[in-house]
Structure 1
Amino acid sequence: MKKIVECVPNFSEGRNQATIDAIAAAIRDTPGCRLLDVDAGKSTNRTVYTFVGDPETVIEGALAAARVARELIDMRRHHGEHPRFGALDVCPFIPVTGVTMEECVTIAERFAERAATELQVPFYLYEAAARQDYRRALPDLRQGEYEGLPERLRDPRWRPDYGPAEFDPRWGITATGARMFLIAYNVNILGTANQAHRIALNLREAGRGEGQPGRLAKVKGMGWFVDEYHLAQVTVNLTDYRVTPIHVLFEEVKKEAALLGVGVTGSEVVGIVPLEALLLAANYYIEQEGLFVYEEEQKIRLAVERLGLNAVAPFKPRERIIEYIVAEPPEEPLASLSVRSFIEEIAARSSAPGGGSTSAAMAAMGVGLGAMVAKLTYGVRRFDAVQDQMKRAIPVLHDLTGRLIPMIDADTSAFNDYMDGLRLPKNTDEERRIRQAALEEGLKTAIRVPLTTMRLGDAAWEMLIEVARFGNPASRSDVQVGARALETGIWGAYQNVVINMEGIKDEEYRRQTLAEAGVLLQRAQHKCQEVLAIVDTRR
């Protein structure tokens, strides 16, 4: 799995476009770094950059940006709404894929050490990288902000983790560390900064101070007025969006605003947001409003609409959801072919793609036909009596169709793994042992893929029976073809399991796998006949 780390440096400059652009260019021009977002705020006088790369390149990107800030930002002239204490105020590293939190701690330490040495500026470590508990939370580190640094740095308890302990009036100090994905989120208030701050105090975890906690855990927040929007905002950091999701914060702000007699007009995400956070919001509104929405794209659209994420600027999912941004095109050379090209590829003088890929394609088409009939039945007035059945069937069949398609290419890839094993040398006992182990592992992979096809196909039968029983009878031939195609796809996958099992020496593995495959095959035969019998009774 490719290692991807997110870095979200916050610089104390949101008004000088030349400086903002120069920092962005430094990140963008770092080989291996991908700049995802630049979010500048004039009122806060702060710009949040979001970029990704592997563990090595994110360090280089952060260093490149820090070099520009060292040259162009002077904290002696900085004023803004947001708390701050350094030119590069914070620089967190966040694990995205294939990376642990511990690795991100190491990345933060390496970045701090290199930047402190090269730029001669001080660094604190915070969050997961903190070496003392009292330095873990950013608000504790920032207490007194930039103006309080001369006195604070004289206190031995607040010596920097890296770099000189003397106050640098031009730079201030930087906090770097590792943390989970933090969502910077603002809810728009048609009121004053004071009213927004009152709401934030009631909701944020710290509340109004000792003995007066707020209602929502893992929330840091305050209120301010944004001149360019001519709006007040409850501005929060959701430090664990699974504990307090976006939609929960939004709905709680609406309740608090209603008590004050002020309006809420949408919200905004600052920077990038995880897909899961918006899906959680979508599922909440689907349940609350009794909606039927099953496609991911429509769920995202619903969440954006209900949260008012387009209120101050267009929210473009492909540019704001991190999974969409970093996603690489799936390696599906067969599934991406036209139908003609796919058939011609099967017919070519080569052993792959063969029966396994064809079986997966047939199973996918069989399930897809069931999904089609269910969708054609749903929403039609004369089928109002069976809408509940279609609402149960559609998400299952839609999802399984999508999960079966990648099995077309997976089967060919598994076969190629086995062929790679055949090419290994076999001149010595050790080479023969290694080759045999590789061949057996290749065969197990070649078995696992068609067995997965069988399992996925098997999961479709109950809903396909529902479609046969309640779906539009004018589409009965589609249901019949779907059942036969699914049965044949499962039968073909079974044959691939059996033929690849011949080279397996592991007797326990053979017994368990063939037993499971046999059950799935028999169920396919029985369920197919059940579907066909139901359709016959509806002629």
Structure 2
Amino acid sequence: MPTPLVECIPNFSEARRPEIVEEIIQVIQSIPQIHILDRHSDLDHNRTVITFIGPPAAVEEAAFQAIACAAQRINMDEHEGAHPRIGATDVVPFVPISDITMQDCVEMARRLGKRVGEELSIPVYLYEEAATRPERQNLENIRRGQYEGLKAEIGINPERQPDYGPSILGTAGATVIGARQPLIAFNVYLNTNDTAIAQKIAKAVRHSSGGLRYVKAMGVLVEGRAQVSMNLTNYRGTPIARVMEMIRREAERYGVGVHHSELVGLIPQEALNDAAVWYLQLDQFSPDQILEQRLMELMRGQPPTSAPLENSFLDALAAATPTPGGGSAAAHTGAVAAALVAMVARLTLGKKKYEAVKERMWAILEQAENLRAALLRNVEEDSQAFEGVMQAFKLPKDTADQEQQRQQAIEKATLEASRVPLITARHCLEVQKLAIELAETGNLNAISDAASAATLARSALTCAAYNVRINLTNLSDNSEAQTLTTQLKEIESQSDQLDSSLKQILGERGGLK
């Protein structure tokens, strides 16, 4: 199967101390499977943009480590630069590149934001596709007042409440994290040092002032020249050539011209193709006419046919060995149910019809993924617990002391072997609850998937209960066994009630009988 690839383009409020920039780069590169594609430092902006790519988990970890490093090395109370900023790591966008969806990137942004808020105590705001409020989709709204303004308002103004982390700024400031489509950072330098002209041109071209739809722009002074600094958020909707020509014409009004332009970071090939077609007036152009494009297609060849993946857990389950056994199978089935819950939650998110339950769906998704991870751990823990029982039975019993020690070890191991499937049963009950809530409020088109998740969770719970009971029969401590049995019966009672609710929901909402 192809490896999913995500691009991350963190912006750091540092460019004048190259040793710190290099330290951040080294931290990013230390994560396996991460490839840095580009770095761009601007001394006037006092800002560095690093572009890297890799599998989702690796990219997420690299972003966190980079934020942590920047927080230690950059003091926002001492920072000065022409570019707006609110934090040492100012903004971290995730961009889907291949075999990954925008929804996946939004989930990455939320996970990273929560971790940064909790572990680094840095306020985090979600933006663009990950925004929790409509007004926060636009980065400029979050950056209003910059670091100094946010520092004065964050604990006072409810509108400045972060999505994650404390409502107070430390020297690392705040970080904006999100998911977006590919963006082109494009700057045009004028043959003047009059910043006012650049500001007037920026106002004319940017969308918020009535200009071009997918253009964000501001006028600044960089390296002694007036610069129109821009982000092009949709190069298909507003081609780069159109932006350039509008700047030329606006500059003529003030008796100046374009000195040169620059890219910050990377640009999609398609955007350059469109610019070339526009300026050269190429009719009926096809990307296949590009020599390198044709060569890449030939070198790539046909994708290999993928062989069926070996399911190692099922193979181990089918083997003639005591472990993994029924307890592990129960946990594995519970994890499958949790995965279905996550799927239904994702199918509900982003649908206008279900906007009212959006935040609840995010909460369900997070809980489902946590339960899936916990149940997968239970798979291994159940096998380990039973192996502990078998090891206890193998202890020597030649003397009275050895027999006593052996019996105590068996008792302890058996108790653990009872507790692990009981934990699995609890986890499965939580999955069942989430699945039934989705059947009631989630995407109606996926109601059968929610029902399947609930049924699988209930079945896994029942299997786990069998394993609890069989182990409890071997306990000599009746009081401990009674306590665990009471807990198990309560779990099963709740599961029975939920199952009855599911049948009613399926009949009323889904028309299933």
Tell me whether 260-269 or 37-46 shows the greater mean CA deviation.
260-269
For residues 169 and 297 of structure 2, the distance between their equivalents in structure 1, rounded to whole angstroms, comes to 57
Residue 164 of structure 2 corresponds to which residue in structure 1? 162
Residue 254 of structure 1 corresponds to which residue in structure 2? 248
Match of 1:217 among 213, 227, 232: 213
For residues 23 and 290 of structure 2, the distance between their equivalents in structure 1, rounded to whole angstroms, comes to 37
Residue 200 of structure 1 corresponds to which residue in structure 2? 202
Residue 67 of structure 1 corresponds to which residue in structure 2? 68
What is the identity, as a one-letter code, of the residue corresponding to 1:54?
P
Q: Please state whether the residue corresponding to 1:241 is helix, strand or coil.
A: coil
For residues 124 and 255 of structure 1, the distance between their equivalents in structure 2, rounded to whole angstroms, comes to 37
Residue 296 of structure 1 corresponds to which residue in structure 2? 290
Q: Percent identity?
A: 40
What is the identity, as a one-letter code, of the residue corresponding to 1:187?
V
Report how far residue 224 of structure 1 moved: 1.2
Matched, 1:102 2:103: yes
For residues 48 and 100 of structure 2, the distance between their equivalents in structure 1, rounded to whole angstroms, comes to 26
Q: Which whole-Å deviations, capped at 9, do the CAs of 1:202-247 have from their partners, x for residues lacking one?
A: 111012xxxxx22x111000111112xx322111000111111111
Q: Please state whether the residue corresponding to 1:206 is helix, strand or coil.
A: helix
Residue 268 of structure 2 corresponds to which residue in structure 1? 274
For residues 116 and 70 of structure 2, the distance between their equivalents in structure 1, rounded to whole angstroms, comes to 12
The structure-2 alpha-carbon separation of the partners of 1:161 and 1:266, relative to structure 1 and needing over 3 Å to count, comes to: same
Matched, 1:116 2:112: no
For residues 300 and 78 of structure 2, the distance between their equivalents in structure 1, rounded to whole angstroms, comes to 56
Which residues in structure 2 correspond to 1:34-113 (within 5 Å)? Answer: 34-113=35-114
Are the equivalent residues in 2 in contact too, given 1:184–1:271 (CA < 8 A)? yes
The structure-2 alpha-carbon separation of the partners of 1:143 and 1:25, relative to structure 1 and needing over 3 Å to count, comes to: same
How well do the aligned residues superpose, as a CA RMSD in angstroms?
2.7
Report how far residue 118 of structure 1 moved: 1.6
Report how far residue 293 of structure 1 moved: 10
Which residues in structure 2 correspond to 1:130-145 (within 5 Å)? Answer: 130-145=131-146
For residues 138 and 265 of structure 2, the distance between their equivalents in structure 1, rounded to whole angstroms, comes to 21
Q: Which whole-Å deviations, capped at 9, do the CAs of 1:156-189 have from their partners, x for residues lacking one?
A: 2321111111222x01111101111111001121
What is the identity, as a one-letter code, of the residue corresponding to 1:85?
I
Are the equivalent residues in 1 in contact too, given 2:144–2:150 (CA < 8 A)? no
Q: Please state whether the residue corresponding to 2:207 is helix, strand or coil.
A: coil
For residues 3 and 115 of structure 1, the distance between their equivalents in structure 2, rounded to whole angstroms, comes to 24
What is the identity, as a one-letter code, of the residue corresponding to 1:267?
S
TM-score (norm 2): 0.56
Residue 129 of structure 1 corresponds to which residue in structure 2? 130
Q: Please state whether the residue corresponding to 1:19 is helix, strand or coil.
A: helix
Are the equivalent residues in 2 in contact too, given 1:286–1:293 (CA < 8 A)? no
What is the identity, as a one-letter code, of the residue corresponding to 1:55?
P
The structure-2 alpha-carbon separation of the partners of 1:283 and 1:417, relative to structure 1 and needing over 3 Å to count, comes to: same
Q: Which whole-Å deviations, capped at 9, do the CAs of 1:251-281 have from their partners, x for residues lacking one?
A: 1111111221112122111001111111111
Which residues in structure 2 correspond to 1:500-519 (within 5 Å)? Answer: none
For residues 76 and 6 of structure 1, the distance between their equivalents in structure 2, rounded to whole angstroms, comes to 30
What is the identity, as a one-letter code, of the residue corresponding to 1:68?
C
Match of 1:241 among 235, 240, 249: 235
Residue 443 of structure 1 corresponds to which residue in structure 2? none
Match of 1:283 among 270, 277, 285: 277
For residues 178 and 402 of structure 1, the distance between their equivalents in structure 2, rounded to whole angstroms, comes to 29
Are the equivalent residues in 2 in contact too, given 1:85–1:174 (CA < 8 A)? yes
Residue 24 of structure 2 corresponds to which residue in structure 1? 23
Are the equivalent residues in 2 in contact too, given 1:182–1:238 (CA < 8 A)? yes
Are the equivalent residues in 2 in contact too, given 1:6–1:96 (CA < 8 A)? yes
- Size of the aligned set, in residue pairs, is 307
Gaps of 5+ in 2: 311-513
Q: Which whole-Å deviations, capped at 9, do the CAs of 1:359-385 have from their partners, x for residues lacking one?
A: xxxxxxxxxxxxxxxxxxxxxxxxxxx
Q: Which whole-Å deviations, capped at 9, do the CAs of 1:40-70 have from their partners, x for residues lacking one?
A: 0100011111101111001111111112111
Report how far residue 150 of structure 1 moved: 2.8
For residues 102 and 307 of structure 2, the distance between their equivalents in structure 1, rounded to whole angstroms, comes to 32
For residues 404 and 279 of structure 1, the distance between their equivalents in structure 2, rounded to whole angstroms, comes to 20
What is the identity, as a one-letter code, of the residue corresponding to 1:223?
G
For residues 118 and 293 of structure 1, the distance between their equivalents in structure 2, rounded to whole angstroms, comes to 47
Gaps of 5+ in 1: 208-212, 299-323, 325-398, 421-539
For residues 247 and 25 of structure 2, the distance between their equivalents in structure 1, rounded to whole angstroms, comes to 33
Are the equivalent residues in 1 in contact too, given 2:128–2:138 (CA < 8 A)? yes
Q: Which whole-Å deviations, capped at 9, do the CAs of 1:432-459 have from their partners, x for residues lacking one?
A: xxxxxxxxxxxxxxxxxxxxxxxxxxxx
For residues 79 and 91 of structure 1, the distance between their equivalents in structure 2, rounded to whole angstroms, comes to 20
The structure-2 alpha-carbon separation of the partners of 1:190 and 1:76, relative to structure 1 and needing over 3 Å to count, comes to: same
For residues 25 and 62 of structure 2, the distance between their equivalents in structure 1, rounded to whole angstroms, comes to 10
What is the identity, as a one-letter code, of the residue corresponding to 1:157?
E
For residues 287 and 93 of structure 2, the distance between their equivalents in structure 1, rounded to whole angstroms, comes to 36
What is the identity, as a one-letter code, of the residue corresponding to 1:249?
V
The structure-2 alpha-carbon separation of the partners of 1:241 and 1:290, relative to structure 1 and needing over 3 Å to count, comes to: closer
For residues 234 and 190 of structure 2, the distance between their equivalents in structure 1, rounded to whole angstroms, comes to 23
What is the identity, as a one-letter code, of the residue corresponding to 1:137?
N
What is the identity, as a one-letter code, of the residue corresponding to 1:48?
V
Are the equivalent residues in 1 in contact too, given 2:76–2:88 (CA < 8 A)? yes
What is the identity, as a one-letter code, of the residue corresponding to 2:130?
A
For residues 232 and 122 of structure 2, the distance between their equivalents in structure 1, rounded to whole angstroms, comes to 29
Are the equivalent residues in 2 in contact too, given 1:84–1:145 (CA < 8 A)? yes
The structure-2 alpha-carbon separation of the partners of 1:112 and 1:404, relative to structure 1 and needing over 3 Å to count, comes to: closer
For residues 235 and 290 of structure 2, the distance between their equivalents in structure 1, rounded to whole angstroms, comes to 19
Q: Please state whether the residue corresponding to 2:84 is helix, strand or coil.
A: coil
Tell me whether 157-166 or 6-15 shows the greater mean CA deviation.
157-166
Report how far residue 152 of structure 1 moved: 2.1
Report how far residue 403 of structure 1 moved: 6.3
Report how far residue 112 of structure 1 moved: 1.0
What is the identity, as a one-letter code, of the residue corresponding to 2:226?
A
The structure-2 alpha-carbon separation of the partners of 1:160 and 1:291, relative to structure 1 and needing over 3 Å to count, comes to: closer
For residues 108 and 292 of structure 1, the distance between their equivalents in structure 2, rounded to whole angstroms, comes to 36
What is the identity, as a one-letter code, of the residue corresponding to 1:219?
V
Q: Which whole-Å deviations, capped at 9, do the CAs of 1:483-532 have from their partners, x for residues lacking one?
A: xxxxxxxxxxxxxxxxxxxxxxxxxxxxxxxxxxxxxxxxxxxxxxxxxx
Q: Please state whether the residue corresponding to 2:220 is helix, strand or coil.
A: strand
Report how far residue 295 of structure 1 moved: 4.0
Report how far residue 294 of structure 1 moved: 7.2
What is the identity, as a one-letter code, of the residue corresponding to 2:160?
W
The structure-2 alpha-carbon separation of the partners of 1:297 and 1:86, relative to structure 1 and needing over 3 Å to count, comes to: farther
Report how far residue 289 of structure 1 moved: 9.9
For residues 300 and 87 of structure 2, the distance between their equivalents in structure 1, rounded to whole angstroms, comes to 48
What is the identity, as a one-letter code, of the residue corresponding to 1:131?
T
Q: Please state whether the residue corresponding to 2:281 is helix, strand or coil.
A: helix
Report how far residue 405 of structure 1 moved: 8.0
Are the equivalent residues in 2 in contact too, given 1:40–1:46 (CA < 8 A)? yes
Q: Which whole-Å deviations, capped at 9, do the CAs of 1:67-115 have from their partners, x for residues lacking one?
A: 2111100000001100111111101111111111110000001111112
Are the equivalent residues in 2 in contact too, given 1:124–1:174 (CA < 8 A)? yes
The structure-2 alpha-carbon separation of the partners of 1:264 and 1:404, relative to structure 1 and needing over 3 Å to count, comes to: closer
For residues 286 and 177 of structure 2, the distance between their equivalents in structure 1, rounded to whole angstroms, comes to 44
